[in-house]
């Protein structure tokens, strides 16, 4: 099922802009929370339900105001977009920043600062999505009868995808192994989605075909999704943390009551014994 889901996600980039597909990844969080509530009996807190509702509202807002997919007839058009000065500058900054983090920051602060590993994953993730979209377009055109596999640009994008994905998996596993998953997941989602939107806007010029009202509405929808995701992760263990506290208080109260019930009769018995015992004889002088 994971493979099928990733294939569907891969195909989505070939038919829709990344600015629409990437934020909708928050729906997987909602579905996971709903299935855990119904199948695994993991209770969903009221604030968790509110977080799911916010994610749905934000996703609908983005879906209704997302830009139309750009008409591309060849993978060479995508390569031309990727080699424009604006995106080349962005890609250079991303690669340099990722290399600095990997070779200079990770050895010193990787185990103590959560932003280091996530920063590497998010930076390279934005390039991964752009390459995945280019590769998806090439495969879509190939399946429709226009073969794109003999273009070297197709294999160049495939090489970029393989390199970036392998690096992402490595450092994401390190982040999950070092830090709490409940903290890693929302931070990674926010950084990855934000950088992907920036890369898509620069490379495919998604906002050039939209008016300011649509752009602001999309950003509001994105912020709504971020708020829902944060709220869902922040409160997902609230039931677990509240439950032991109440049970601990009850057990403590019960133990105190039992202690009182056991101790009082003993004191009463001691008093009775003291009253019924004969007077002690004076000690004899040695």
Q: What is the mean pLDDT of each run of 10 residues along the chain (286 residues)?
A: 81 86 78 77 78 85 83 90 94 96 94 92 93 92 90 94 93 90 79 89 85 89 85 66 44 43 43 47 50
The pLDDT, as a whole number, for residue 25 is 76
pLDDT for res 275:
47
Residue pair 194/186 in contact (Cβ under 8 Å)? The answer is no
Residue 181: what pLDDT?
75
Domain ranges (residues) in the chain:
1-241+250-259
Q: And the tokens for 42?
A: 């993991």
User: For residues 67 and 211, is the Cβ–Cβ distance under 8 A?
Assistant: no
pLDDT confidence of residue 271: 47
User: For residue 98, how far is the Cα from the chain centroid?
Assistant: 20
| Cβ neighbourhood burial of 2 (10 Å; 0-12, 13-18, 19+) | exposed
Confidence at residue 161, expressed as pLDDT on a 0 to 100 scale: 93
Confidence at residue 159, expressed as pLDDT on a 0 to 100 scale: 95
Distance CA 188, CA 119 (A): 8
* Burial call 189-204: b when 16+ CB within 10 Å, e when fewer: bbbbbbbbbebbbbbb
Maximum C-alpha span of the chain: 121
């Amino acid at each position: 099922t994971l493979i099928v889901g990733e294939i569907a996600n891969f195909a989505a980039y070939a038919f829709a802009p990344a600015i629409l597909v990437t934020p909708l990844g928050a729906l997987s969080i909602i579905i996971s929370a709903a299935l855990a509530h119904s199948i695994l009996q993991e209770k969903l807190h009221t604030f968790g339900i509110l977080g799911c509702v916010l994610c749905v509202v934000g996703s609908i807002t983005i879906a209704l105001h997302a830009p139309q997919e750009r008409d591309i007839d060849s993978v060479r058009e995508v390569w031309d977009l990727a080699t424009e000065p604006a995106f080349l500058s962005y890609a250079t900054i991303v690669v340099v920043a990722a290399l600095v983090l990997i070779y200079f920051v990770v050895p010193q602060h990787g185990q103590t600062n959560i932003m280091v590993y996530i920063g590497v994953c998010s930076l390279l993730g934005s390039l991964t999505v752009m390459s995945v979209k280019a590769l998806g377009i090439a495969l879509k055109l190939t399946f429709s009868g226009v073969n794109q596999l003999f273009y070297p640009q197709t294999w160049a994008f495939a090489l970029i995808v393989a390199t970036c994905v392998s690096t992402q998996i490595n450092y994401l596993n390190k982040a999950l192994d070092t830090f709490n998953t409940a903290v890693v997941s929302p931070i990674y989602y926010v950084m990855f989605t934000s950088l992907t939107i920036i890369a898509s806007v620069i490379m495919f010029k998604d906002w050039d075909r939209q008016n300011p009202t649509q752009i602001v509405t999309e950003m509001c929808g994105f912020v709504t999704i971020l708020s829902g995701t944060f709220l869902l992760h922040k409160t997902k263990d609230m039931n677990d943390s509240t439950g032991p506290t109440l049970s601990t208080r009850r057990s403590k109260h019960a133990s105190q009551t039992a202690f009182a019930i056991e101790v009082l009769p003993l004191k009463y018995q001691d008093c009775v014994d003291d009253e019924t015992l004969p007077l002690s004889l004076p000690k004899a002088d040695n």
